[in-house]
Amino acid sequence: MNSNSVGHPSRLPVAVIGAGGIGRMHVERMLTHPDVAPAAVADPSEAARAWAASLGIAWFADPAALLDATARHGARAVIVATPNATHAEVGLACLARGLPVLVEKPVADTLASAQALCDAAAAAGLPLLVGHQRRHNPVLQRAKALIEAGAIGRPVSITAMATWLKPDAYFDLAWRRQAGGGPVLINLIHDIDLLRFLLGEIVGVQAIASNAVRGFEVEDTAALLLRFANGALGTVSVTDCAVAPWNWDLAAGEAAHYPQQDVDACFIAGTEGALTLPRLQRWHYRGARGWHEELTREHTILHRRDPYVEQLRHLRAVVEGRETPLCSGRDGLRTLRATLAVHEAARSGRPVTLPAA
Ligand SMILES: NC(=O)c1ccc[n+]([C@@H]2O[C@H](COP(=O)([O-])OP(=O)(O)OC[C@H]3O[C@@H](n4cnc5c(N)ncnc54)[C@H](O)[C@@H]3O)[C@@H](O)[C@H]2O)c1
């Protein structure tokens, strides 16, 4: 039994399965979190064992062994931070033991396995959350509230940028050079979730993609056209092979390993005003309207909150029945469906239609 979890009865013990890059980020935030504490980790790698030992956290090579030992380490929820193809299997095992699950994005690697995970959570009456942490950023929450309050009128036109340079060493891992390992499924999925969170369902996707710069099997660049159920139209650019600051990670500075840039990455124009994100600038007419008239810019600077820390607070609140998931399994499924539609549209050269509900 470790001193970080059940030794602090006021903190909810949470287990983490998969202690690589993001799994460790979650655990490291739990160490000083007021609401949750790391109960145990499962990850077969020697590096994960040594890391868990260095923190005094119970370690298991096998997720099943961790789940069998819940009575011992006291976990009341599990974060699944394993490779995409294992999310469904590991998540189902957690649900079968009666444990609520926060699964990292994408919710699963296929729509069928994502649906199976959602169905299992519903059948068990257990919460299933998906780690699209941007929804917990105060900037996005304010933007959503502004849009819903009519601050920009009817959303009409959205432009989003996801353009950066990944270092060459990133591609040393073979799966990142192969189909499914590229910026659409790894990164753009967060932007698609952000747009769905702000503007509602995406009902139409057109796309073109290219691998011309890196020459790998996977795309390095794509351009999208989106149609939203509310009638708004969007354009999105994504590339991981160009030198550019215009992307959410660099602009929002959610993780310290990204040097924050003073730029926007998302531009939303409506019939009454416009909003840029993440700098949260709002443009509107105070008097007469029209492109010859004075346009007012308001710039709101919010208190910063780490969305990963906030996501952990929310996880506890959901487990204790005080909140409903901000990003449910169904949200993760619909975000995955729209993201996979980008690949389908680029491959076929045809628009893809998605259901509005
Ligand atoms: N929300 C975010 O900001 C964010 C950021 C990065 C990654 N992710 C997602 O998190 C997941 C993990 O990504 P990562 O970058 O941490 O990968 P990673 O390769 O750094 O870590 C994955 C870890 O899982 C372990 N593992 C593999 N199979 C396992 C199993 N069956 N049981 C237990 N452990 C297992 C590996 O040993 C490895 O340590 C991916 O789904 C990724 O899309 C989310």
DSSP structure string for 291-308: TTS--EEEE--PPP--HH
Pairing of strands 266-270, 274-277: antiparallel
Q: Whose CA is nearest to atom 5 of ligand 1?
A: 22
Q: Whose CA is nearest to atom 29 of ligand 1?
A: 82
CA of residue 319 to ligand 1 center, whole Å: 23
CA of residue 81 to ligand 1 center, whole Å: 4
Identify the pLDDT of residue 183.
Answer: 96
> Residues with beta carbon inside 6 Å of ligand 1?
17-23, 42-45, 48, 63, 81-84, 86, 90, 104-105, 131, 133
Say yes or no to pLDDT of 9 above 80. Answer: no
CA of residue 24 to ligand 1 center, whole Å: 9
**Is 42:65 a contact under the CB 8 Å cutoff?**
yes
Nearest to 154 by CA among 284, 270, 285, 275: 270
Select from 82, 103, 250 the residue to mutate for testing ligand 1; criterion: most ligand atoms less than 8 Å from CB: 82
CA of residue 46 to ligand 1 center, whole Å: 15
Residues in the chain, total: 357
Other Cβ atoms less than 10 A from the Cβ of 313: the count is 17
CA of residue 29 to ligand 1 center, whole Å: 16
Q: Which atom of ligand 1 is nearest to the CA of 255?
A: 3
Token pair, residue 38, equals: 């790391």
Select from 16, 17, 22 the residue to mutate for testing ligand 1; criterion: most ligand atoms less than 8 Å from CB: 22
Distance, CA of 192 to CA of 182 (rounded, Å): 15
Task: Round the average pLDDT of the chain to a whole number and report it.
Answer: 95
Confidence of residue 18 (pLDDT cuts 50, 70, 90): very high
Q: Helices 111-124 and 87-96, interaxial angle, to 10°?
A: 10
CA of residue 275 to ligand 1 center, whole Å: 34
Helix (H, G, I), strand (E, B) or coil at 231: coil
CA of residue 223 to ligand 1 center, whole Å: 27
Identify the pLDDT of residue 256.
Answer: 86
CA of residue 212 to ligand 1 center, whole Å: 28
Instruction: Give this prediction's pTM.
Output: 0.95
| Token pair 């994100």 in the structure block, residue | 277
Identify the pLDDT of residue 179.
Answer: 84
Q: Is 216 exposed, middle or buried (0-12, 13-18, 19+ CB in 10 A)?
A: middle
List, in sequence order, every residue forming a beta bridge with 221; answer none if it has no partner. Answer: 210, 239
| pLDDT tens column, 243-270 | 999 999 999 998 888 999 999 999 999 9
| pLDDT tens column, 277-334 | 999 999 999 999 999 999 999 999 999 899 999 999 999 999 999 999 999 999 999 9
| pLDDT tens column, 225-237 | 999 999 999 999 9
Give 14's contacts (C-beta < 8 A, 6+ positions apart): 30, 36, 37, 38, 39, 75, 76, 77, 78, 79, 312, 315, 316
| Token pair 């690949």 in the structure block, residue | 343
Q: Which atom of ligand 1 is nearest to the CA of 22?
A: 16
Identify the pLDDT of residue 328.
Answer: 98
| CA dist list (Å): 312 to 48, 215, 258, 264, 326 | 21, 39, 21, 27, 12
Q: Which atom of ligand 1 is nearest to the CA of 254?
A: 3
Q: Whose CA is nearest to atom 43 of ligand 1?
A: 105
| pLDDT tens column, 101-151 | 999 999 999 999 999 999 999 999 999 999 999 999 999 999 999 999 999
